[in-house]
Each structure stands twice: as structure tokens, then as C-alpha cells.
Amino acid sequence: MAEFKRIFIVGATSAIAEHCARLWVQKAPVEITLIGRDQARLERVAQDLLVRGPQVRAHAVTADFLSADAIEKIVQDTVGDGAVDLVLIAHGILPDQQACQDDLGACRQALEITAVSPALFAEAFAKRMARAGTGTLGIISSVAGDRGRKSNYVYGAAKGLLTRYAQGMQHRFAGSGVKVVLIKPGPTDTPMTAKFKDQGTKLIPVEVAAAQIVSGMEKGSPVVYVTGIWQIIMLVIRHLPRFIFNKMDL
Amino acid sequence: MALVSSWGRLGHWEHEVLALTDREQAGGQISLRRPGLAYGLGRSYGDVCLNPGGWLWRTAALDRFISFDPNTGILVCEAGVLLRDIQRLFIPRSWMLPVTPGTLLVTVGGAIANDVHGKNHHVRGTFGEYVRRLTLVRTDGEIIECGPDLKADWFAATVGGLGLTGLILTAELQLHPTTGPWIDCETIPYYSLSDFFDLSSASEAGWEYTMSWFDCLRGDSGRGIFFRGNPAEAGTRPEPKTRERAVPLTPPCSLVNRLTLRLFNDLYFNVNKRRNRRGLVHYQPFFYPLDHLQEWNRIYGPRGFFQYQSVVPPEHSREAVQAMLGEISSSGEGSFLAVLKSFGDRPPAGMLSFPRAGVTLALDFPNRGEGTLKLFQRLDAIVAQAGGRLYPAKDARMPPALFRQGYPRLGEFSSYRDPGISSALARRLMES
Ligand SMILES: Cc1cc2nc3c(=O)[nH]c(=O)nc-3n(C[C@H](O)[C@H](O)[C@H](O)COP(=O)(O)OP(=O)(O)OC[C@H]3O[C@@H](n4cnc5c(N)ncnc54)[C@H](O)[C@@H]3O)c2cc1C
């Protein structure tokens, strides 16, 4: 009997996560747990994976993403006592910056779903991975988290939190069997960015983003920029002196 | 608003674009965004997939599989699944698509709506013949399940229905058993049109795949390369590595002109003439020779290009094809790709399906404005005279009269149209 890899995806209906899952099920026998908020949509994703992979066991489960207790419980229930091979934390929303400035409720919600909730999930999985001493935890942040910009700093700050969180976890697990991979996609072609596409922004095809994430997690690279060019772009943006940066319309 | 074009790049037009991502929600989404039109990958050459000023419903992210039965080869999937993904996943499991067009970058929905054909029409017919069921959602919310034996009239209207009867959400396809990815192929140079007809009729009984490239710069005394192939027995060869390349930029003018055409045609003929006449070829280069060169349509420059694909019935095909090639060589408007293929005599799957018994000729022409359109008028006259028709998937300019003449079931088809759907082609050829 083949060994089934155990994979957990939080935010499994997001386009990037779904494409990563497609690649994983084609590579090896997997038992995959899809965690999200809409049971029926998760089941449609699971159904697809069952056809794509020759040997797949798929589970679709929903949770309240904003409750610490619910997060602790769902991770406990799905992981149980077994070891975990791969975890991908992929959820988040791209809020309208102006709406967040106008309405603190919207601002808070965006921060909670894009920063606090993924951090809690990461912590809950990390606890189990630490115990087992193995596993790879991938956290999807964003190049937008590298420097705050007026056009999207609510999103950027949320992703910035995840970036620091992952760095801290990397420090915590240094020298152990647990790997934490910080993933920073540039603008990717997903439903979340559809309006930018209409405005003519060049977006990264979602299959390309997924392939780079999957290979980055396989290698256990500490940071995966998708695509690599964004590493250079963000290096420049991070180091622009403030007096120049503040004059730019970004 | 976004600027959208089709494969021929004859222009870019303003559309409102909505990406469909979930089959349960798609019906509700399209009912609020009318008049609209489904858009797969835009691999149609002309205006069948465009709806300037209105909505386009992108289906490429409706790309989930639903079920597969490895015993019967029955696959159920969403309409945005790419033919590429079906071939990649199922050929290693010994099942393949019975019929595919010359590119895999096509959605299942697009393949149904144009009822596409491949190199094996004489044996297997069209894509639509392997659709067992489909779910159609109309812009008034009605959902219609149909198939060849269930609401057969709706099915016949939707297969080859140019996207005008509703949005195809899911389809159930019958795959075909295969022994592996290799084709046993033969390449035969020939030196006249009449040789083509002889080779074609001699090959139909024993060969599953046939097609031919023809050098149409030479008119009458033409020459060509005939390809025929059969699925090869299971082999243990390793899969070849494919490298994808892309044409990086649109050149400021068309790279296709009289000189490059002559060079290309000479080169193509001479390379293939010397090739191994018989050998094993992987299915990808055999069926989809252009797929590894992404965006090759850019070589035609910023004004884009037309494809002109006709089919003429067997009793007139020799004279009609001869006459068309004669017009082309005397017009000086050469074509890179002149593809000739015989279609078999099979009942069509759809009311507006293109293939019919006879010979089909497909030609690409850079858009040079008036001169190109004048040539098309002369070709139209030959097609009409021979009782043939043009392929809407490739068309951007045929006159309504030729469309009506070529598709006698158009009147019957009209009653199945969804009033919330329109396209540039429908407005041009059906007046709404
Ligand atoms: C290199 C190349 C080679 C080709 N070779 C062949 C060939 O050998 N034989 C052949 O027959 N064709 C061939 N074609 C044409 C191509 O197969 C068709 O145009 C095909 O329909 C394109 O599919 P698409 O998914 O890109 O659809 P689009 O071009 O985006 O749309 C085509 C039509 O389908 C409709 N449609 C798409 N999705 C849906 C849906 N879900 N529900 C309802 N309607 C829908 C659209 O409204 C439109 O009317 C070729 C094209 C290229 C670029």
C-alpha cells in the first residue's frame, strides 16, 4: 500500500490554493483536507481532485474563521494524532482601500480575515507540527506586505503581519524538521484581481503561481517570490528613500 | 470595460467582462449581466466569441472535473475545462478525446458551441457526437438538461449553436480507448491537386487521421504534403520533452508577405519531402503542431489576419478547390497555411454544424484591407456556386446571404436562441 501524504489547505476554494491542490494530487497518493467556509463549494473542489489524482482521499470541512476556539477545534479534529506533511494557509480578501478608510467596521473585518485568522491557523498547525517534529507550513502573504502604500495599505498591513509571523516561526523552528515557507505572490490572475485585469495590469497566470509555490514548498525555501522578478521589484521599492517614495502614485 | 479580441486579432473591442468561477452561481450571475455571451479561450478567429458593448462571461475558471468512470470512459466536467487537461490526464490512463481541433487550448464549451472537427472526421465525425449530456442554463434562469436522446431538439440547437442558446455549464463526454501517446504516421509529398484527391480517397479506409498541407502560391501546378496516421501500438518510449516558446511582441507590420511566404513554403515542402516517410510521432506535434509556439497569431502584425475555411460537397469539390486556388495564386495574396482535408458523409450533430461530406480548405490571410476582402468575394462566389458553406468559428466577414444559403436550418435554430445572448456574429449574420 502506498503511503498517503497528508495535506491540509485552509481557504481551499481560493484559486491559488485550488491549483496547488491539483498539482499535489497528481504527484503522489494524498489525503487532502480542504478547509473553507462554503461546504458546497469545497465539495466541488474535492470532487475535481478525486478525478485528477489517481489516488486521492479528500475531505471538505467548514469552520468559523474568526473564532480562535473554532480554529483550535477544527485543527484538532482534522489533524488528530497523526503527523502532517503539508499545510497551506491561503485565505484572505483584497479589500477596497477607500471603503476601509471610510468605514472602520470594514477595515477591521479585512484585517481580521486577512491577517488574524491566518495567523491563528498557522499557530494551531504549528503546535501539532512541533510535536511531530516534521512537516512544511506554507503561508501565502503578498508582495504588498513588503512596504505600505497609499493605494492598499490595509491589505498590505495584513499581509505584513503574516510576513513577520512567518519570519518568527522560521526562527522558532530553525534547525528542526519543521519548515515554514513564506510565499509572496505578485498580482496573480484570480477572481480577486479581476478588476485589475480589466484595467490592463499584467497578471501572473494562476497555474504558474501554483507551480512555483508547490516547488518552493517541496524545497522548503524560506521565501518564495512568485514570480522571482518580484523579489527585485520589491527590493527596489523597499529601499526607495521616503522623500522619493512619497511622491510616487503607488 | 476591458478590450478583448479573438484569435485573428482583427481588432480589440470594449466589453464588460465577468469571470464565472462556480457552476452553482453562474446562472444567477449571467441573468444579471445581459446581453452577454460565453467566452472560452477566444480561440475562434473572428467574431463568434465577441459581443462589443455588452458582457462577456469568461468560462475558463469553470474548469472542474465532476466524475470519471475508468471502465466506460465517461467523463463529466464543467464547460471551461481545457481539452489540454483532458488529454494530459487521461491519455496516461488509456483514454483520449475521440475528436480534437488543431489546438488543445480550447474549452469543452467552445468545442461544443462550434461543434469542432479534427483530422479524423471521416471516421469519427465531430466533437458533438461524443457529448452524451449537457446542462444549459438560460438567462431567464431555466436549466435544460439535454442529450441526443433527451430533449434532442435542444441538444441539436446547442451543439454547433455558436453560444446562442444559453450557457453550457457541464457536459458528459464519451472518451475513446487509446493504446498510448504515439501515432504511426506517414508523410507523402505530392505534386498536383489531383494527387491530393487520389491520396485522400485511397487513405480514408485504412487511416484514422488524414490531412494535407498545400502550397497555394503555385495554383494549378501545386504541390503539397499529405499526412496520415493511425494510433500506434502501446510502446515503452519515453515522452519527449516539449519546449514552449512564445512570439514575444507584435511586430509593427505583418511578417507574412510574398517573400516570406515563398521561403516558408519552399522550406516546408523540402523539409517534409525528405523526412522519414513512415515513423512514430508523439500525438502532440502530430495533432497540435502550433501549440508549442504560443501566440503565433502575432506574426501577422497589428492588423491581424483572417482565416477562410470552406467546405464544398464531393460532386463539385475538385473544380471548386481548383478554382479557389487559382483565384488565390492570381490575386497575389498568399496563405501560410493552406490545409486540405476530406470530410466523411455523416449526419451532423447540430443544426448549424459546419462539417458535411466533401472537401474543406482552410487558409490564413494577413489583413491587407480592401484587396483581401475582394479576394474573399471571389472565393465566396465559388463556394456558393458549389453549394458549400463557410465555418462560422473562423469567420469575420461572410455576407448574410451566404450564411443563409449554407445553413438551411437557420430558421428552425432561431426559436432556440436565448434572448439574453448576443454576439457580433449574430448581429452581423442573423440581424440580432
Ligand atoms: C491553432 C488553431 C487551430 C484550430 N483548429 C481547428 C480544427 O482543426 N477544427 C475546428 O473545428 N476548429 C479549429 N480551431 C477553432 C477552435 O477549435 C474553435 O474556435 C473553438 O470553438 C474555440 O474554443 P474556445 O474555448 O476558445 O471558445 P471561444 O472561441 O471563446 O468561443 C467559441 C464559441 O463558443 C461559445 N462558448 C464558449 N464557451 C461556451 C459555454 N460554456 N456555453 C455556451 N457557449 C460557449 C462562444 O460563445 C462562441 O460562440 C482552431 C483554432 C486555432 C487557434
Which residues of chain A lie closer than 8 angstroms to B65, CB-CB?
A: 47-48, 51-52
Residue percentage of chain B with pLDDT more than 90? 76
Which distant-in-sequence residues (6+ apart) come within 8 Å of B131 by Cβ?
A: B112, B147, B148, B155, B159, B171, B172, B173, B174, B349
Element (H, E) at B365: strand B358-366
Q: Is the pLDDT of residue B99 over 90?
A: yes
Report whether B350 contacts B203 (CB < 8 A).
no
Q: How far is A190 from chain B (nearest CA, A)?
A: 9
Residue B273, phi then psi, degrees to nearest 5: -60, -40
Q: Is the pLDDT of residue A5 over 90?
A: yes
Give the rounded distance of the alpha carbon of A23 from its chain centre. 16
- Give the mean pLDDT of chain A: 94
What is the average pLDDT across B127-150? 98
Query: pLDDT per residue over B42-74, tens digit each?
Result: 999 999 999 999 999 999 999 999 999 999 999
Q: Is the pLDDT of residue A193 over 80?
A: no
Report pLDDT for A54: 87
Question: What is the pLDDT confidence band of residue B228, given thresholds at 50, 70 and 90?
Answer: very high
Report whether B40 contacts B109 (CB < 8 A).
yes
Report pLDDT for B245: 66
Report pLDDT for A31: 97
Cis peptide leading into A227, omega within 30 of 0? yes
For B1, the grid coordinates are 470595460
Which is it for strands A5-10 and A86-89: parallel, antiparallel or unpaired?
Answer: parallel
Q: Is the pLDDT of residue A197 over 70?
A: no
For B264, the grid coordinates are 516558408
Q: Is the pLDDT of residue A194 over 80?
A: no
Task: Please give the Cα distance from B186 to B73 (Å, whole number).
Answer: 29
Which residue do the cell numbers 482601500 mark? A97
Q: Is the pLDDT of residue A2 over 70?
A: no
SS3 label, residue A61: strand
What is the average pLDDT across B189-218? 91
Q: Is the pLDDT of residue A232 over 90?
A: no
Report pLDDT for A198: 63
Q: How far is A30 from chain B (nearest CA, A)?
A: 17
- Give the mean pLDDT of chain B: 92
What is the average pLDDT across B352-369? 96
What is the average pLDDT across B365-389? 96
Expressed in angstroms and rounded, the spacing between residue B241 Cα and the centre of ligand 1 is 27
Closest to B65 (Cβ–Cβ): which among A26, A40, A48?
Answer: A48
If you take atom 32 of ligand 1, which residue's CA is the nearest one?
Answer: B110
Which residue do the cell numbers 519515453 mark? B238
Report whether B148 contacts B155 (CB < 8 A).
yes
Checking ipTM against 0.85, whether it exceeds it is yes
Q: Do B61 and A15 touch (CB under 8 A)?
A: yes
Max CA separation in chain A (angstroms): 63
Task: Please give the Cα distance from B293 to B246 (Å, whole number).
Answer: 5
Q: Do B17 and A44 touch (CB under 8 A)?
A: no
Which is it for strands B143-146 and B131-137: parallel, antiparallel or unpaired?
Answer: antiparallel
Q: In ligand 1, which atom is closest to the CA atom of B111?
A: 21
Question: What is the pLDDT confidence band of residue B253, given thresholds at 50, 70 and 90?
Answer: confident
- Total count of residues recorded for chain B: 432
Residue B295, phi then psi, degrees to nearest 5: 55, 35
Closest residue in B to A45 (Cα) is B64
Among candidate residues B18, B50, B53, the one with its CA nearest the CA of residue B139: B18
Which is it for strands A56-62 and A86-89: parallel, antiparallel or unpaired?
Answer: unpaired
Instruction: Report whether residue B42 contacts ligand 1, using a CB cutoff of 6 Å.
Output: yes
Question: What is the pLDDT confidence band of residue B205, given thresholds at 50, 70 and 90?
Answer: very high
Query: Is residue B129 classed exposed, middle or buried when 0-12, 13-18 and 19+ CB atoms within 10 A define those classes?
Result: buried
Q: How far is A117 from chain B (nearest CA, A)?
A: 24
Report pLDDT for B21: 93
Closest residue in A to B90 (Cα) is A52
Task: Please give the Cα distance from B174 to B429 (Å, whole number).
Answer: 33
Q: Is the pLDDT of residue B276 over 70?
A: no
